[in-house]
Amino acid sequence: MNDLEISQAVSRVLSKYTKTAPQAAVQSAPEPVVLPKQDSIEAIVASVLAGRVNQQRPDTSPSAGEGAFATMDEAITAAQQAQIQYRHCSMQDRASFVEGIRKLFLQEEVLQAISRMAVEETGMGNCVDKLVKNRVAAQKTPGVEDLATGALSGDGGLTLTEYSAYGVIGSITPTTNPTETIINNAIGMLAAGNTVVFSPHPRSRNVSLYCVALINQQLARLGAPANLVVTVLTPSIDNTNALIGDPRVNMLVATGGPAIVKTVMSSGKKAIGAGAGNPPAVVDETANIEKAARDIINGCSFDNNLPCVAEKEVIVVNEVADYLIHCMKKSGALLLCDKQQIQQLQSLVLNDKGTGPNTAFVGKDARYILQKIGISAPEEVKVILIETERDHPFVVHELMMPILPVVRVENVDEAIELAIKVEHGNRHTAMMHSTNVEKLTKMARLIQTTIFVKNGPSYAGLGVGGEGHATFTIAGPTGEGLTSARSFARNRRCVMVEALNIR
């Protein structure tokens, strides 16, 4: 943009705020979003996008519609222009916009629609657990309250340390948690004063476009500058590469596999990478075995094991292994013992090289997978349980499906050692069930994971049934941990010399 265009953009937004303050718009509750629950995915998305797609005006105009653009260049241009306007919004404005997004996605009909659409489009997970994940993303993602100012005064004067926006953030979102990540990142990034360009996974295109459109509709109702949150109509690898390479994008946030995290980390830009995990669950002889069994099965089966925090393998002290397996079977696990069936399962769910999952079965439910090897399981079965050796592919590789290998060890120290080994240094998530505080402390110190859950299901680490804020961008590789608004902000210092110290 040239100086004239910048001046015009600033004038437009300032005149809007002097005429109609956003705060006033917030005081009256926005109209609820009414969704046709029985519509197909295509019909729902088309109904949202049709008005804009059929119009012939350029997508880069401030009134471009619902935030979806034909090209990545147009999307970034729109977000850059919106960022110039967003700088003139107050913290109170930001808070009202964030609160509006929360209210939008806490409407039951919206939660139902996006959860159902995600399952139908991606073929992964289940609606019940996606409802929980979407709800916690809207409820427990920190907003502007996360941006606390630090102050230091002394003989030399007063120094303030504040969180300031990066500018335009490129957010690459996964097919495993498409709507949750958009809700979570949109709240945190807007709270920090940024605009966002989302690059969704192509397999979650429709539901991602729909979420972005709903956000834009809600922000428009609240008087926000247009295009604070944008995306492309046709997500692709090429569009993601264009986002990564564009100099107008000030920060990159990637939630996905090791390849995309490595790419953003080598981009030369400030990058946050939320990579893979292989979370182990350790159970020792002091644990409450009945509760441990319930927690492990509930955590492993949550959204069909799609969350990267979910239990991927169990390492149990031999003394209590039989009882743990018995209790897990009572809690919804089916123990597979036949060697031929286990080999069939292995051939089915691993890729051709045996080095990871067959993506066709990622996020599928246990009964579906069992059916493919000729086993008809009762409705209560949520997890496929298998006793394995410590070097079995199911133990070594993250499958992201409700298949849970169980490895026996002689003592808790051996269990901790093996857990550290199979976690592969991802520093993502680990669980331990024990009443031995010394051993709980030992494992937490040695495994160095971002999330360490003691005596609970893995999802407690996301704020579901546990204390703490929610996030679906868990940045182990780059060290931010459980991201929040402050993760998407620069740390800036403002110094007043020899003044404002009144002590």
CA distance 481 to 277: 13
Handedness of CA 59, 61, 67, 72 (dihedral sign): positive
Question: Of 272, 256, 278, 293, whose CA–CA distance to 429 is shortest?
Answer: 278
Instruction: Report the 10 Å Cβ neighbour count for 93.
Output: 21
User: 400-419 as b/e, with b when 16 or more CB fall inside 10 Å?
Assistant: bbbbbbbbbbeebeebbebb
Helices (H), 222-317: 237-245, 258-265, 289-301
Report which DSSP code applies to 356. Answer: S
Side chain identity at residue 172, one-letter code: I
Instruction: Report the 10 Å Cβ neighbour count for 308.
Output: 28
Catalogue all structural domains in the chain, each as residue range(s) with its CATH number: 3-275+484-489 (3.40.605.10), 280-467 (3.40.309.10)
CA distance 130 to 230: 23
pTM, full prediction: 0.86
Question: Of 384, 387, 397, 364, whose CA–CA distance to 297 is shortest?
Answer: 384
Pull the structure tokens for residue 484: 């929040």
Q: Walk along the chain (503 residues) and give the pLDDT tens digit of each residue.
A: 544 454 454 445 444 434 333 443 333 444 555 454 444 445 555 555 554 433 333 332 333 458 999 999 999 999 999 999 999 999 999 999 999 999 999 999 999 999 999 999 999 999 999 999 999 999 999 999 999 999 999 999 999 999 999 999 999 999 999 999 999 999 999 999 999 999 999 999 999 999 999 999 999 999 999 999 999 999 999 999 999 999 999 999 998 888 888 899 999 999 999 888 999 999 999 999 999 999 999 999 999 999 999 999 999 999 999 999 999 999 999 999 999 999 999 999 999 999 999 999 999 999 999 999 999 999 999 999 999 999 999 999 999 999 999 999 999 999 999 999 999 999 999 999 999 999 999 999 999 999 999 999 999 999 998 899 999 999 988 889 999 999 999 999 999 998 888 88
Residue 32 sits at the vertex; the CA angle it makes with 29 and 37, to the nearest 5 degrees, is 170
